[in-house]
Amino acid sequence: MEHNLPHTMALLTRTPVALNALLRDLPEAWTLRNEGENTWSAFDVVGHLIHAERADWIPRAKVILQFGETQPFEPFDRQGHAREVQGKSLGQLLDEFARVRTENLGELRALNLRPEDLARRGRHPSLGAVTLAQLLATWAAHDLTHLHQISRIMAYQYREAVGPWSRYLGVLQCAGHSSS
Amino acid sequence: MEHNLPHTMALLTRTPVALNALLRDLPEAWTLRNEGENTWSAFDVVGHLIHAERADWIPRAKVILQFGETQPFEPFDRQGHAREVQGKSLGQLLDEFARVRTENLGELRALNLRPEDLARRGRHPSLGAVTLAQLLATWAAHDLTHLHQISRIMAYQYREAVGPWSRYLGVLQCAGHSSS
């Protein structure tokens, strides 16, 4: 389907609530373990989602609206969550994610975007020309790619415990496709 | 990690709440669309999770405890959710999933499993000998494989809307690995 702003916002509203329901107070064996060296735990992923709320979606939307293609976006630091998560508990990160997401949805509403705004173009530092609609669709799909990743990271912890059933569990065959 | 009964139960408790938070009242463009012919929508997946609660986990645990390897499990019907979902709304399915999961966790608690019970073996109709611990680990990992699938099905709806960002979104590179 085409990008649809109310659909995007409906999804963006639900992700922090869903992650909270899934992860809060879960044993750390699920939330702090990763998939091996240089991979992320569910805890790290929540930190990354917070960092993206601060550095990616709304700031880039504003760059498009203000400068169009004349000013490329700041590159996004995929390791930028290291500062977010330092010294924090998962519960604190889940609270923080809910808070910054609510703020950003408020900012998005306040932009009062019209169809002609959604068609406006900006410049991604490596992808080139992108539209505001594509940026907002990616915000929603980025939530889903990390929900996909979290379910994979957690399933990985039981990859041996399931014994011969592993061949029936699609998530255990998922190679990750990318670092996210 | 090894199978751990409290960890398994912690996850099994959260899945219906997390799916409810993610899916309830979401536009049908997210929940009723699938990935193409002969694939499932998020709605279908919730129906499948309900069907597995009725036909798979607890019934099979009881077969292991009562008959050991002498009586193979009933084969599981992967299309068995068709009857579950007929005429129902997604809200009704989410309510039903929460209800049957709570009942089954009650049954699991009532079995009062000791470590020697978890090591008992049963016979899967195609996988052969499996332990009760492996069955219970698979119950949890099965929740995760379907959360992984739901996030992939939903992201698929925006595969074109994200434009050039698709190459950065791991979930859009996921081929599904299996029908689940």
Tens-place pLDDT, residues B39-82? 999 999 999 999 999 999 999 999 999 999 999 999 888 888 88
For the purposes of burial, counting CB atoms within 10 Å of the CB of B50, is it exposed (0-12), middle (13-18) or buried (19 or more)? buried
Please report, rounded to a whole number, the percentage of residues in chain B having pLDDT higher than 90: 87
The SS3 of residue A179 is coil
**3-state secondary structure (DSSP) of residue B52:** helix
DSSP H or E segment with residue B152 = helix B132-156
Do the Cβ atoms of A143 and B122 come closer than 8 Å? no
Q: Which residues, 6 or more positions from A61, have their beta carbon under 8 angstroms from its beta carbon?
A: A108, A111, A132, A135, A136
Per-residue b or e along A143-166, where b marks 16 or more CB atoms closer than 10 Å to that residue's CB? bbbbbbbbbbbbbbbbeebbbebb
* Mean pLDDT, rounded, for A84-95: 96
Q: Per-residue DSSP letters for A99-127?
A: HHHHHHHHHHHHH---HHHHT-EEEETTT
Tell me the pLDDT of chain A averaged across its residues: 95
Which amino acid type is present at position A44?
Answer: D
In chain B, the percentage of residues whose pLDDT exceeds 70 is 97
Interface test with A, best of B139, B144, B150 (most A CBs within 10 A): B144
* Number of Cα atoms under 13 Å in the Cβ half of residue A168: 16
pLDDT tens digit string along A41-60? 999 999 999 999 999 999 99
Q: Does the beta-carbon distance from A127 to B164 stay under 8 Å?
A: yes
- Which of residues 97 through 136 in chain B touch A, CB cutoff 8 A? 124, 127-128, 130-131, 133-135
Range 19-78 of A in CB contact (< 8 A) with B: 19-23, 25-27, 29-30, 33
A to B CB pairs, distance under 8 Å: 208
The answer to whether residue A92 neighbours chain B at the CB level (below 8 Å) is no
- pLDDT tops 80 at residue B144: yes
Tell me the Cα Rg of chain A.
Answer: 18
- The whole model's pTM is what? 0.96
| C-beta atoms of A155 and B138 within 8 A | no
- Cα B21 from Cα B100, distance rounded (Å): 17
Backbone angles phi, psi at B128, to 5 degrees: 85, -145
Q: Is residue B121 within a helix (H) or strand (E), and if so which, with residue range?
A: strand B121-124
